[in-house]
C-alpha cells in the first residue's frame, strides 16, 4: 500500500485479514532444520542439556579459580571498614592524609572474561559486605558529570540531575524530586539511610557493620580519561571523613598503569593494595581438563577443531569465555548437522535409541566411514550380515557404543599418566601443556613420532627416586578409575614401586652389575707397547659388553609396560567404530564463524552477490557479474579491470553501458549507454561506498582520477 501526496499527513491503513505467521521457537527451528527430523526433538533436548552443563560448569570453575583472590579482596574491604562504626574520627585515624582505600585488581588481557569476575565480586559484596556497591565503565563516563551521575543514580536508585537548578512543577502532581549531582548529596543520603537502618538492625545483620562502605568498581580502568579520574578522586578525597569510600580498579595490563595515568599528587590520595588473578592460560587448562579431558562429557572435538579453538585463544583474545562459546557452537553444529548425534548421550538412552532405529537410521549407520572400515575388515559372511540385516547392525551398534565408552574411560587416565611422565623432561618433547599432547594423540599414533621416541629415551635415563616419583603420580591418577583394565594397571604400577624400593638394601656392586675394580691395576704392571695396546682394547670391549644392573633392567621393564599401555589405549578416535556419533570434525565451519575475515567476506559479496542475495538472476559464470547486480557490485567489478589510476569518466561510461543492458534497451538505440542524472547519482554513490570500504581513494596526481587500493582479480 502506498500514497501519493505532496502534503504531509496521517494515513490510516486497516490491518490485513491474513493471519500473521506464528513465531517459530528455537526448538522448532532446530527440529525443522535438521537433516533428519525423526529424532530432532531428542537431539535438541540433549544439545540443550549439554549446553547448560557447559555453562554451569564453566561458571563454577570460574568461581573456584577466583575464590582465593576474591576472599583476599573481601578481607581487605572488611579490614578497611572495621573502624568506621559510629563516626568519622576512627575512620580518619585509619586513613592517613585522607587516603581512599583502593584495590588494584589485575585481571589480565582477557577482557571478555572480566565481566564474569566482576559479577562474582558484586554478588559477594552484596551478600556479605555492603549493599552500596556500584560498577562503572569508561564508555558511559565521557565527562566528570556523567561519572558522578552514574555513581549516584546506581547507589541511590533515584534520578540525579546534572544541572544546578531544579525545575519547579506547578501542575499539582507529586513527582519524585531529582537529587543534585554532588558528593555532598551522596553523604546526606548515606547518613539518612544508615541512621534509618540503625533503628532496624535486623536489616543489616548480614553486613560487617551498621555503616557499610560505598564501593565503586571501575571495570576498565585503562579506558577512562585520566583527567576525569583525577577530578573524581580529588573530590572524593575531601569527603573521606564523612563517607567510607572504597575504590576497585579493574586493570588489564600492569599495576604501573595507575602511576602512568595519575600524577603523584592524585595517586598519593589512594591507599593501594594489589590483587592478582590467575593467568588466563591456567583458566583454559582447567576448562579443558574439566570439560574435554573427561569421559563424563559425551561430546568430543576432533584434533583440528580443538586446534582452531586453542589457536583463536592464543593468537587473538586469550578469552576463556570465547573458547567456551566456540565449544558451544561446535556442540550446536554437531547436533544440528549429524542425524546420529542422538546417540551422543547417556549409555542407557543411547542403547534404547539404537533398539528403536528404523531402516533409514540403520542405513545412515552403514554409510558412516568408521562403520565402512569395520565392514572391510570382516569375512564375507559377516559382511553380508552387516549389509543386509538391520537387527544384526543394531546389535553391533550397541556393542560399539559400549566399547566407545570403555575407550574413553581408559583413554584419559593413560593420557594423564603419559603427560605426568613427560611434562618434566628437558625441552618438553611431547608438549608443555596437556592439550598439546592430547592434540598429538588425536591426530596420529603418538608412539610413531620422533618426539615420543625422544621422550622414551630421556625417561630411560631417570634416576631411581625420579622414576619412583613419576610412578607414584601415575598411581594417584589411576586410583579413581573404575574399569578392569585401569585397576589391573594400577596393581602393576604399585608392584613396580615396591620392587624399586626393595633395591635400597642391595650393595653397590650388585646394583652396578659388576665388581668394583680399580681400572689402573692392569696398567700398573710392566709391559711393552704391544701388550699395553692389547690390554686397553680388552678393557674397551668389556665396557661395551657390560651387563645391565638390576635397577636398569627394572626401569626398562616399567617403561616398556607404560609404552604398551600407550600403544593399546591411546589410539586415535578414528580407529573406533561409530566415533562420528560423539566427535565433531568440521573445523572449517568453526573457523568461518569464529575467526572472521571481513575483507574476504566483503570481496565475496561484491564479486559474487548471489552468494548472499540468493537471487537466481545474479547467477553468472566464474569471473563475471550480472548486469542486474547492485550498483556497487557492478562498479567494483569494473574497477578490477583498471590499472592503478582509474579515470572517473571512463568508469562512469562503462557503468552506464552495463546498466543499460540490465534495463533491456536496444544496443543500437541512441539512449543506450547514455549518462543521465539518475545514473550519474547512482554511480557517485557506489564510488563513495567503495571509498568508504577502502577499495579506492582520491589522488592529487590527477583531479579526474582515483587511486585503486586493491590488486589482482576478484
596-608 pLDDT tens trace = 788 888 888 888 8
Q: Where are the domains of the chain?
A: 82-163+177-278, 598-708
| Residue 384 reports pLDDT greater than 80 | yes
For the cut 60, the answer to whether the pLDDT of residue 592 exceeds it is yes
What order of strands is seen across the sheet that includes strand 133-136? 133-136, 214-218, 245-251, 100-106, 270-276
- How far apart, in whole angstroms, are the C-alpha atoms of residue 543 and residue 245? 78
- Is 545 strand, coil or helix? coil
C-alpha cell at 365: 549407520
Q: How many helices (H) and strands (E) does the chain have?
A: 30, 12
Residue 490 near residue 479 (C-beta atoms within 8 A): yes
Residue 644: predicted pLDDT: 86
Residues 397-401: contacts with CB within 8 Å, 24+ apart? 397/354, 397/357, 397/365, 397/578, 398/351, 398/354, 398/355, 400/576, 400/577, 400/578, 401/343, 401/347, 401/350, 401/351, 401/354, 401/578, 401/581
**pLDDT of 690-705, one tens digit each?**
999 989 998 888 878 8
Of residues 546, 552, 551, the one with CA closest to residue 506:
551
Q: CB within 8 A of 417, min separation 6: which ones?
A: 473, 474, 477, 478, 562, 565
Say if CB 276 and CB 252 are below 8 A apart.
Answer: no
pLDDT given for residue 506 in this prediction: 62
Per-residue pLDDT reduced to its tens digit, 558-577: 999 999 999 999 999 999 99
Whole-angstrom Cα distance, residue 372 to residue 621?
A: 38
Q: Is the dihedral of CA 684, 687, 689, 691 positive or negative?
A: negative
pLDDT (0 to 100) of residue 202: 44
In sequence order, the 6+-apart residues with CB closer than 8 A to the CB of 637 are 606, 607, 624, 625, 629, 714
Close Cβ partners of 318 (under 8 Å, ≥ 6 residues apart): 108, 109, 110, 280, 281
pLDDT in tens, 665-686: 666 666 666 778 888 899 999 9
Q: What is the rounded distance in angstroms from the CA atom of residue 152 to the CA atom of residue 469? A: 59
Q: Do 211 and 191 touch, CB atoms closer than 8 A? A: no
Return all residues near 363 (Cβ < 8 A) that are at least 6 apart.
Answer: none
pLDDT at 543: 55
User: Whole-angstrom Cα distance, residue 493 to residue 252?
Assistant: 46
Superfamily designation of domain 82-163+177-278: P-loop containing nucleotide triphosphate hydrolases (3.40.50.300)
Taking residues 444-461, report their average pLDDT: 94
Cα angle value 549/552/554 (rounded, 5°): 110
Percentage of residues in the chain with pLDDT exceeding 70?
81
Share of the chain above pLDDT 90, in %: 51
Q: Is 230 helix (H, G, I), strand (E, B) or coil?
A: helix
Average pLDDT for residues 84-90, to the nearest whole number? 49
pLDDT confidence tier of residue 504, bands split at 50, 70 and 90: confident
Q: With beta carbons less than 8 A apart as the criterion, state whether 335 and 621 touch.
A: no
Angle at 692 between CA 689 and CA 696, to 5 degrees: 90
Computed over every residue of the chain, the mean pLDDT equals 83
Q: CA separation (Å) from 164 to 148, 158, 160, 167?
A: 13, 17, 11, 10
Please state which of the ranges 239-248, 514-523, 525-534, 580-589 shows the lowest mean pLDDT.
514-523
| Rounded distance between C-alpha atoms, residue 555 and residue 467, angstroms | 8
Question: From the centroid of its chain, how far is CA 223?
Answer: 23
Inform me whether the pLDDT recorded for 103 exceeds 50: yes
SS3 content of the chain, % helix, strand, coil (to 5): 60, 5, 35
Task: Let me know: does 698 contact 646? Beta carbons within 8 Å.
Answer: no
Q: Which of 74-83, 263-272, 528-537, 672-681 has the lowest mean pLDDT?
A: 528-537
Q: What is the mean pLDDT of residues 144-171?
A: 70
pLDDT at residue 482, rounded to an integer: 84
Amino acid at each position: 500500500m502506498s500514497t501519493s501526496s505532496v502534503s504531509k499527513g496521517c494515513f490510516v491503513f486497516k490491518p490485513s485479514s491474513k493471519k500473521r505467521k506464528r513465531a517459530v521457537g528455537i526448538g522448532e527451528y532446530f527440529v525443522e532444520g535438521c537433516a533428519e527430523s525423526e529424532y530432532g526433538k531428542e537431539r535438541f533436548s540433549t544439545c540443550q542439556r549439554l549446553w547448560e552443563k557447559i555453562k554451569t560448569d564453566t561458571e563454577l570453575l570460574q568461581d573456584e579459580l577466583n575464590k582465593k583472590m576474591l576472599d583476599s579482596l573481601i578481607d581487605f574491604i572488611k579490614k578497611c571498614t572495621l573502624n568506621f562504626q559510629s563516626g568519622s574520627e576512627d575512620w580518619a585515624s585509619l586513613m592517613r592524609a585522607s587516603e581512599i582505600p583502593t584495590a588494584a585488581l589485575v585481571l589480565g588481557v582477557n577482557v571478555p572474561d572480566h565481566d564474569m569476575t566482576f559479577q562474582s565480586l558484586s554478588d559477594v559484596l552484596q551478600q556479605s559486605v555492603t549493599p552500596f556497591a556500584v560498577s562503572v565503565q569508561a564508555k558511559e563516563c565521557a565527562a566528570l558529570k556523567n561519572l558522578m551521575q552514574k555513581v549516584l543514580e546506581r547507589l541511590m536508585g533515584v534520578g540525579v540531575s546534572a544541572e544546578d537548578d531544579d525545575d519547579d512543577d506547578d501542575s499539582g502532581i507529586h513527582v519524585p524530586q531529582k537529587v543534585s549531582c554532588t558528593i555532598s548529596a551522596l553523604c546526606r543520603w548515606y547518613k539518612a539511610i544508615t541512621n534509618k537502618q540503625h533503628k532496624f538492625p535486623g536489616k543489616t545483620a548480614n553486613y560487617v557493620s551498621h555503616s557499610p562502605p560505598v564501593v565503586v568498581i571501575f571495570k576498565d580502568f585503562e579506558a577512562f580519561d585520566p583527567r576525569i579520574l583525577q577530578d573524581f578522586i580529588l573530590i572524593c578525597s575531601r569527603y573521606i571523613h564523612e563517607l567510607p569510600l572504597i575504590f576497585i580498579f579493574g586493570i588489564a595490563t600492569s599495576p604501573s598503569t595507575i602511576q602512568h595515568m595519575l600524577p603523584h599528587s592524585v595517586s598519593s590520595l589512594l591507599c593501594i593494595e594489589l590483587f592478582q588473578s590467575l593467568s588466563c592460560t591456567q583458566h583454559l587448562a582447567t576448562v579443558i581438563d574439566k570439560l574435554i579431558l573427561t569421559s563424563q562429557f559425551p561430546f568430543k572435538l576432533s584434533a583440528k577443531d580443538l586446534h582452531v579453538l586453542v589457536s583463536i585463544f592464543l593468537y587473538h583474545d586469550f578469552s576463556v569465555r570465547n573458547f567456551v562459546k566456540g565449544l558451544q557452537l561446535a556442540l550446536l553444529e554437531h547436533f544440528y548437522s549429524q542425524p546420529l548425534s542422538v546417540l551422543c548421550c547417556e549409555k542407557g538412552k543411547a542403547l534404547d535409541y539404537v533398539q528403536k532405529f528404523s531402516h533409514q537410521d540403520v542405513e545412515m549407520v552403514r554409510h558412516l566411514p568408521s562403520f565402512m572400515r569395520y565392514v572391510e575388515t570382516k569375512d564375507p559372511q559377516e559382511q553380508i550380515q552387516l549389509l543386509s540385516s538391520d537387527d544384526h547392525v543394531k546389535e553391533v551398534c550397541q556393542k560399539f557404543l559400549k566399547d566407545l565408552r570403555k575407550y574413553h574411560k581408559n583413554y584419559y587416565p593413560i593420557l594423564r599418566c603419559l603427560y605426568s611422565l613427560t611434562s618434566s623432561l628437558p625441552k618438553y618433547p611431547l608438549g608443555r601443556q596437556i592439550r598439546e599432547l592430547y592434540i598429538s594423540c588425536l591426530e596420529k599414533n603418538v608412539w610413531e613420532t620422533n618426539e615420543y621416541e625422544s621422550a622414551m629415551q630421556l625417561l630411560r635415563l631417570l634416576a631411581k627416586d625420579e622414576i619412583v616419583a613419576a610412578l607414584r603420580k601415575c598411581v594417584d591418577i589411576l586410583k579413581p578409575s573404575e574399569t578392569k583394565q585401569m585397576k589391573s594397571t594400577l596393581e602393576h604400577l604399585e608392584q613396580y614401586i615396591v620392587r624399586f624400593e626393595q633395591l635400597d638394601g642391595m650393595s653397590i656392586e650388585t646394583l652396578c652389575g659388576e665388581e668394583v675394580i680399580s681400572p689402573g691395576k692392569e696398567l700398573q704392571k710392566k709391559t711393552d707397547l704391544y701388550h699395553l695396546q692389547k690390554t686397553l682394547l680388552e678393557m674397551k670391549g668389556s665396557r661395551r659388553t657390560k651387563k645391565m644392573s638390576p635397577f636398569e633392567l627394572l626401569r626398562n621393564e616399567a617403561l616398556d609396560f607404560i609404552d604398551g599401555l600407550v600403544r593399546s589405549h591411546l589410539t586415535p578416535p578414528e580407529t573406533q567404530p561409530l566415533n562420528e556419533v560423539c566427535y565433531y570434525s568440521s573445523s572449517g565451519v568453526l573457523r568461518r564463524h569464529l575467526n572472521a575475515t571481513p575483507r574476504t567476506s566483503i570481496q565475496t559479496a561484491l564479486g559474487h552477490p548471489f552468494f548472499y542475495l540468493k537471487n537466481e538472476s545474479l547467477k553468472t559464470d566464474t569471473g563475471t557479474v550480472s548486469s542486474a547486480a547492485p550498483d556497487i557490485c557492478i562498479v567494483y567489478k569494473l574497477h578490477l579491470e583498471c590499472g592503478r589510476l582509474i579515470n572517473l569518466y571512463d568508469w562512469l561510461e562503462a557503468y552506464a553501458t552495463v546498466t543499460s543492458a540490465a534495463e533491456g534497451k536496444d544496443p543500437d538505440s541512441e539512449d543506450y549507454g547514455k549518462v543521465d542524472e539518475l545514473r550519474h547519482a547512482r554511480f557517485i554513490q557506489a564510488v563513495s561506498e567503495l571509498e568508504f570500504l577502502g577499495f579506492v581513494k582520491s589522488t592529487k596526481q590527477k583531479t579526474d582520477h582515483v587511486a585503486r587500493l586493491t590488486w589482482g582479480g576478484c
